[in-house]
Amino acid sequence: MRTRQLLKGAQVVFPTEVGYGADILIEDGIISAINPQSAGTADIIRLEDSLLMPGMIDLHCDALEKEVEPRPNVHFPLAFACSQADKKNAIAGITTVFHAISFANHELGVRNNAFAAEITEAVSRWQTHAMVENLVHARYEVTDDSAPPIINKLITRGHVRLLSFMDHTPGQGQFKDASSFRAYLAKAYKKSDAELDEIMSRKLLCAESALDRMRGLAEIAKKHGVAIASHDDDSAEKIETLSSLGGVISEFPVNITTAKTARAKGIATLFGAPNILRGKSQSGSVRALEAVMEGAADCLCGDYSPDALLTAALSLPELSDIGLPEAVALVTKNPARAAGFDDRGEIAVGKRAD
C-alpha cells in the first residue's frame, strides 16, 4: 500500500538555503516534490514554526560499546544493547549511524577481536527490528596482527560498511608519548606495569609489518564497496599513505595543517561534535571549531556522545561565520558523500525522506 505525506509550512534546510514555509511531499519514504501544486490524498502534517532538516549521518560513534559494557567486565545482552543504541540515535535525530567497533586485542574489553566480531554481527541481526539504519564502522588497530582474518570475513559477509585504520603506537597521533599511552591503558583496563610493558613491546614489534596488513584489508574493502578511513592523522605522510590505500576520510586529524592536506587530496575530514561543545579536544589536538572556521572540516560525528551532534551543528552559525545550511551539511550531506551514499543527506526530490 502506497503512503503519501505532505510536510507543510516548515523552515526547511535545503543544501544551499533555508526555505521558509516550504511544503515537502513524500511518497513511500522518498521525497517526490517540493512545494507541489497538489498533494492529492496525502496525509497533511503541519510543521509551522518548526525546523525541518535531513536525518543526520554519524560516521563514527563509540556509544554502542558503552551500551554493551556500561562498567568494566559488566556486559548486557547484545540485542538489548543494540536496541538501546537504536532508540537513542532516533531520539537524537540520527537516521544513519556507523557504530564504531574497535578490533584492538591489546585493549581488551569490548575491543577484544572475538567480542568485537560478535557485536558487529549483532548489529546486522538487529537491523530487521531497527528504527534507524545501523551500520558498522570497523576500527582496525594496525599493530594487531590477529585481527585481519576476522575483519576480512566480516567485510565479505557484508557486515562492515566503513573501515578505518588506527595506530595507537606511542609517539604519534593521539598518544604523543609512551607515558600518555600507558596512562590510558592503566586507567581504562587496570593493567600492571609488567602487563603494560608486554603490551607496549608487542605493539612496537607488530608495527613493523602494519602497512602490509593495511594494504591487504584495503583491497578487500574496495572490492566490497567499503569506504576507507584513517584515524588521528598527524602529518602529510599519513595522508599520503591513506590516499595510496584508497582512503576517503581522515578522522580527527590532530592539526590544521594535516586537515588541509587531506582536503587538498580530496579526502574528507571528520571531527567530533563533543569537541565543538566542550571547546577543546580530549587529547590536546586541534579544536574542531578552529577547523570549521579555517575551512578544514567537512564532517562532524557523535564520537562518544551522539546527543552532541545536533546541538553542535545548530550552534555553529553563532560560533562561526558559516550559515545554517553549511552547518547542517556537516552532519548530513557531507558525511553521506564521504561514505559513498547518494540517496540521503539532503532535502531534494528523489532522496530518502529520513
pLDDT in tens, 115-169: 999 999 999 999 999 999 999 999 999 999 999 999 999 999 999 999 999 987 6
Query: From CA 174, how far away is CA 168, in angstroms rounded?
Result: 7
281 vs 33, which has greater pLDDT? 33
d(CA 127, CA 123): 6
Q: How confident is the model at residue 282 (pLDDT cuts 50, 70, 90)?
A: confident
Q: What pLDDT shows up at residue 201?
A: 62
Q: What are 281's strand-pairing partners? A: none
Are the beta carbons of 137 and 228 closer than 8 angstroms? no
Is a pLDDT exceeding 80 seen at residue 12? yes
* Chain-centre distance for alpha carbon 69: 20
pLDDT > 90? residue 195: no
Q: How far apart are CA 275 and CA 29, in angstroms?
A: 34
Phi/psi at 267 (5° precision)? -100, 130
Position 2 scores a pLDDT of: 79
d(CA 162, CA 319): 31
pTM of the model: 0.90
